[in-house]
Copies of this chain bind each other. A is one copy, B any other.
Amino acid sequence: MSAETWLEQLHDNGYRITAARRAVVDTVFSSTHALTPSEVHDAARKKYRALGLVTVYRTLEKLEELHLVQRVHQPMGCQAFIAAGIGHQHLLLCQQCGRVEFFEGDDLDALTSSIAKKTGYQIKEHWLQLFGLCSDCK
């Protein structure tokens, strides 16, 4: 899979291929880091100087819609708060009404050591979050 594939996919979905989109696609396609719209803008402007930030937002929107990019959540990123769980717990959210529950008892040790071995990372923590419908909403 190459950056060209992304452009083809855009085209196949009725979107035009432009210099601006090329620059954004090339940038995001090959990045090994999660990039904010502003970071994409800075990087992509090296390839296409006239690129506007608005176009970056609009192109990311389309790439997300086509499932070519995905969002990366980082610790300080979302502004929504709930009373913290006690000890090691994770969240379960209702996709309909927003109700939040905590659960515990996950065991990811086998998984994390296998991933650590495969990737060479030293794994420090994990996030696990479940989504579904609560008893009222389902």
Chain A residues at the B interface, C-beta cutoff of 8 Å:
1, 28-37, 40, 60, 63-64, 67-86, 91-95, 97-101, 103, 105-106, 108, 111-112, 114-116, 118-135, 138
Contact = CB atoms under 8 A, between A and B. Distances in A.
Contacts of A124: 95, 131-133
Copies of this chain, count: 2
A3 to B, nearest CB: 9
A contacts with B: majority SS: mixed
B106 A135 contact: no
Given A32-B99, A126-B128, A78 B71 contact: yes
Contacts of A33: 82, 97-100
A81 B34 contact: yes
A98 B32 CA distance: 8
A82 B28 contact: yes
18 contacts: A28-B81, A33-B82, A34-B81, A34-B93, A37-B81, A69-B82, A69-B84, A71-B79, A71-B80, A72-B81, A77-B78, A105-B114, A119-B135, A121-B134, A122-B138, A127-B127, A127-B129, A128-B129
